[in-house]
Structure 1
Amino acid sequence: MSDSDDFAHRLEALENRAAITEVVLRYARAIDRCDEAMLRSCFHPDARHRHGNFDGASADFCGFALEIVRKVELSHHQLGPVSIELAGEVAYAETYYTALHRFGATPPPSGEPHEDRFSGGRYVDRFERRDGQWRIAERRGISEWMRYEPAADRGFYDGPADQRGRRDRDDPVYRGG
């Protein structure tokens, strides 16, 4: 293999890793912003999904997950390292995550939240590149831990509303900052 071939191979591997990582990041944004179109764009149409009590088509998981997330007052997913093994048109990825889900009868500031659920785990994914696009073909969500705490904001909602994230397309990320 020549130096230019080796460089091209390494560059392609970096491009593939970046594209796969972007899908993983897009998934977290889609869940936290309740963006169904973005969430569905992370999966191939025939993708499979196992996460918690769900085992079925990823297309069905998208609706299932958003139904749950829309009922909580907020969610926030933080992603850790993404480890990717490339194998031609297939790739295997493992991503660590932590998540917060705020449960309550009515959203602040009008009501009192009653519980924060923190969890951590991993997404174990099989990606496939089809028609030049990397998407998840199979996802398994693995839970490692969960912690339940009474909700406490200590004045968070006293600050300007435009300084807090939103769970829709009015969030600053959709306006470019």
Structure 2
Amino acid sequence: MSEAWLDRLNSRAEITEVVLRYVRAIDRCDEALLRSCFHADARHRHGTFDGASADFCGHAMAVCRAVEATHHQLGPVSIELVGETAFVETYFTSHHRFGAVPPPGGQPHEDRFMGGRYVDRFERRQGVWKIAERQGINEWLRYEPASDRGFWSGPAGQRGRRDRDDPVYRR
């Protein structure tokens, strides 16, 4: 394989890892990990937020900490490499469990399910791929009453944690 071909494969892998790291950071409420996904001057548009990605990170953590649980699933990651820039589209679905005090638009103890896409422009700077611009596009949204059937009253060790005590951080 040529060096250029290996660089393209490596770039695609590195970009995909950033996309995966983003959802882990959101679901584990890991602000430092979330910030590591973006270049310092990155821009962000998602929902009502339009501004610096550095500010979005604080905003996202406040939203996630205000709900009882979040869970994101990623679908296809499409990457178009153009030199030191990559145009990336990633499909997502998300779940947010609202607590007794829901965010605007929600009801207490309700589940919000959403599907959409992250449309990103990545840049490789000093050999490192990170997001330079992200637009979150929501495709559908559904609210449902919570129906856990005892899930939250079961053993805590069988559920994911929203901090660095989650099993994923144990090495």
TM-score (norm 1): 0.90
Match 1:104 to one of 79, 99, 107: 99
Match 2:140 to one of 135, 142, 145: 145
Distance 1:114 1:27 in 2: 26
Given the alignment of the two structures, is residue 87 of structure 1 paired with residue 82 of structure 2, yes or no? yes
Q: Residues 1-177 of structure 1 correspond to what in structure 2 (within 5 A)? A: 4=1, 7-105=2-100, 114-176=109-171
Larger Rg: 1
Distance 2:34 2:10 in 1: 22
Q: Cα RMSD over matched residues?
A: 1.1
Structure 1: gaps of 5 or more residues: 107-112
TM-score (norm 2): 0.93
Identity of aligned residues (%): 75
Q: Aligned pairs, how many?
A: 165
Structure 2: gaps of 5 or more residues: 102-107
Q: Deviations over 1:126-171 (max 9, x none)?
A: 0000011100000000000000000010121243211110000000
User: Where has structure 1 moved over 6 Å in runs of 4 or more?
Assistant: none
